[in-house]
Amino acid sequence: MTFLCFLVVGTLLVVLQTTLLMPTPVWAFSPDFYFIFVAYLASRFTPVLGLLLVYLLGLMLDVLVGTMLGMFSTLCFAGFACIRLFSSRMVRWDFLYSIPLISLTFFLLSALVYLVFDFLYVGQLVTWVWWEMLIRAALVAAFTYPLFRLLDKLYTYSKNMVYPWKRLRVRSDRPKRRQT
Amino acid sequence: MRQQLRKKRNSKTQYLRVLVVAVVLLILGVLFLVSTFGSRQFGPMHKIAMEFVGPVQKTVTATGSLLSSFKSDYIDSIQNFFKLNEEKKRLSKQLQETEALLNRSREAMATNASLRKLLDFKNAAEQRSIAATIVGKDPSPFFRSVIIDQGANSGIVKGSPVVCSEGVVGQIFTTSPNYSKVLLAIAPSSAIDVLLQKSRVRGILKGTGELTYRLEYILKNVDVEVGDYVVTAGYGGVFPTGLPVGIVSKVFRQPQGMFHEIEVHPAVDYQTIEHLLVIEKPNLNEIFEQPVQP
C-alpha cells in the first residue's frame, strides 16, 4: 500500500511539475520536485521498491513531457543510485549533510546528462546556462527539507494505516498450534 | 537434526529471495535500457501512460488558469481602477489608428482580389485547423516543447504545423490518441523555411532556445533592416505561405563570411501562449487523386 501511495504522490508531483510549476515554456525557476522525490525514495525505501518507483517516475516524465525519450529516466536512475550509495555510508540520515548532497548530486548529474545527450544529439539541446542551473540546484536544496517532512508523514501514515480488509478479518478464538 | 534441516531450508529460502530480487532488478534494468536508449519512437506503452496522466494534467492546468482568470477579473481590476482614464485615452487613440489601418487593408485586399482575378489565380483551398490548449510543459531546461489536448483522434499527425493568432508556434513531433507534443519554433532543433517579406529572399529560421530566432543563409548583398517582417516561405509543404513568424530585431554586419547574422524577434509571445491552432496536413493522396479539369 505504501508503494501505491507513493506512486500516486509521484504522479501528482509530475503533474504539478509540468503544469503549475512551469508557467511558461521558458521558465527557469521551477524547483525540481521529482528529483527530491527520487532522493527520498533512495533514502527511505528498499532498493527493489525504490527502483521500481524511480523507474515508473522516470518513464512517466519521459513519456508525458520529455522531448527526448530517456533523459529523465537516466537522471532519476543515476540520482537514485548516487544518493543510495552515499546514504548507505552515512552513520545516520541528517539534513545537515543530506540537503547539500542532494543539491550537489542534482547539479552534477544534470551536467553529466546534458553532456551525454549533447554528445548524442548535437545541436538539439538548449545551451547550458550556469546561473540557471545553479538557481535550480539552490531551489532543490530549499525544498528538500519541507518535502522530506511531508513525505515522511505520508510514509508513517501509510505504514500505520488500518485497511478495511484487515479490520474485517475475524480472529479465531482457537489457541495457536504449538510449534514443534 | 531438525534445527540443521531448518537452517538449510532458511539458507535455501534466502538464496531464492536473492535470486528473485536479482531477476527483478535485471528485468527492470533491461526495460529501463530498452525504453531509454532502444529507440526514440513513441511506442504503445508510452501512449497508454500519456493517456492515463493527460486528463489529470488537463484538470490541473484548467484549475490554474481559472484561478489566474479570477485574479485578473476581480482582484487586478480593483487595482487598475485608477488607471482607467489613462487607458481609455490610449485605447481611443489606438482605435483610430486601427481603423485607419483597416481601411488601408481593405484597399489592399480589394487590389489583391482584382489582381488574382486578372491572373486567373486559383485560390488555395482553405486548410482545416484544430483548436487546442496547452496542458503541460517540459520541465527540463534543455528543451522547448509543450503538450496539447488534441491528438491523432482529431486528425493531428506528426509534422503538422502549429500556429496561433499571432503567427507560427512550432510543429507536432509526437501524438497519442488524445494528446500531442509540440516542438516550439524557439527550440534549437527547429528549422523553418522563411522569406523576408520586403525583399522576398529565402532563409532558414532556427531556434536559439531563448525568446529569439536566428535567421540563416541570407547573403550579404541582400538589403536587410531592423523591423523587416519575416514570413513562412511555404516550401516543403509544412507551413502555408505567408504566415507571420517574426520581425528582424538585430542585424550583425561582419566583414568575414558570406551571410548576414540576423536575430529575429518572434511574432508569438511564448510567455503568455495558451491556445493554439494545429493546421491539418493536406493528404497528398487526396490531392493527386482529384480529377484534372480541362
Does any CB of chain B come closer than 8 Å to the CB of residue A137?
no
What's the pLDDT score for residue B293? 45
Which band of pLDDT confidence, cut at 50, 70 and 90, is reported for residue A138? very high
B-chain CB neighbours of A73 within 8 Å are 32, 35-36
CB count within 10 Å of CB B13 equals 10
Nearest CB partner across the interface for A55, out of B28, B56, B143:
B28
Between A104 and A169, whose confidence is greater? A104
Q: Which domains does chain A have, with CATH numbers?
A: 2-6+30-157 (1.10.1760)
Rounded-to-integer distance, Cα B276 and Cα B279, Å? 10
**CA B282 to each of CA B82, B152, B192: distance values in angstroms, whole numbers, following the listed order:** 51, 15, 18
Local structure of B133: helix, strand or coil: strand
Closest chain B C-alpha to A168 CA, distance in angstroms = 31
* Contact indicator for A117, A125 with CB cutoff of 8 Å: yes
Residues facing B277 on adjacent strands: B131, B163
What would you report as the CA-atom Rg of chain B, rounded to the nearest whole angstrom? 28
What's the pLDDT score for residue B10? 75
Given a cut of 60, whether residue A17 has pLDDT beyond it is yes
Percentage of residues in chain A having pLDDT higher than 70: 88
Closest chain B C-alpha to A3 CA, distance in angstroms = 16
Closest chain A C-alpha to B49 CA, distance in angstroms = 7
Rounded-to-integer distance, Cα B263 and Cα B247, Å? 9
Q: Which three cell numbers stand for residue A87?
A: 546514504
pTM: 0.70
Task: Tell me how far the alpha carbon of residue B178 is from its chain's centroid.
Answer: 17
- Interface contact flag, A133 B141, Cβ < 8 Å: yes
Average pLDDT (A53-71) is: 84
- Interface contact flag, A51 B28, Cβ < 8 Å: yes
- Interface contact flag, B137 A19, Cβ < 8 Å: yes
What's the pLDDT score for residue A146? 93
Nearest CB partner across the interface for B137, out of A18, A34, A129:
A18
Which band of pLDDT confidence, cut at 50, 70 and 90, is reported for residue A111? very high
* Contact indicator for A71, A120 with CB cutoff of 8 Å: no
Residue of B nearest to A115 (CA): B142
Output the CA torsion sign for B19, B21, B26, B27: positive
Provide the terminal-to-terminal Cα distance of chain A, rounded to the nearest Å: 34
What's the pLDDT score for residue B287? 46
Which band of pLDDT confidence, cut at 50, 70 and 90, is reported for residue A106? very high
pLDDT digits (tens, 9 = 90+) for B102-136: 877 876 776 676 566 555 534 444 567 888 888 88
Task: Tell me phi and psi for residue B135, to 5 degrees.
Answer: -115, -15
Q: Which three cell numbers stand for residue A177?
A: 498450534
Average pLDDT (A83-90) is: 81
Output the CA torsion sign for B32, B33, B34, B36: positive
Residue B81: DSSP 8-state: G
Average pLDDT (A133-149) is: 92
Closest chain B C-alpha to A75 CA, distance in angstroms = 11
The torsion defined by the Cα of B152, B161, B45 and A44, in degrees rounded to 10, comes to -130
Which band of pLDDT confidence, cut at 50, 70 and 90, is reported for residue A129? confident
Place of cell 480472529: A171
Rounded-to-integer distance, Cα B92 and Cα B78, Å? 22
**CA A71 to each of CA A59, A81, A114, B53: distance values in angstroms, whole numbers, following the listed order:** 9, 16, 9, 19
Does any CB of chain B come closer than 8 Å to the CB of residue A24?
yes
Does any CB of chain B come closer than 8 Å to the CB of residue A107?
no
Q: Which residues of chain B have pLDDT under 70?
A: 1-2, 29-43, 45-46, 77, 79, 81-82, 107, 110-111, 113-127, 282-294
What interhelical angle do A33-44 and A47-64 show, nearest 10?
170
Rounded-to-integer distance, Cα B133 and Cα B146, Å? 10
Q: Which three cell numbers stand for residue B93?
A: 487613440
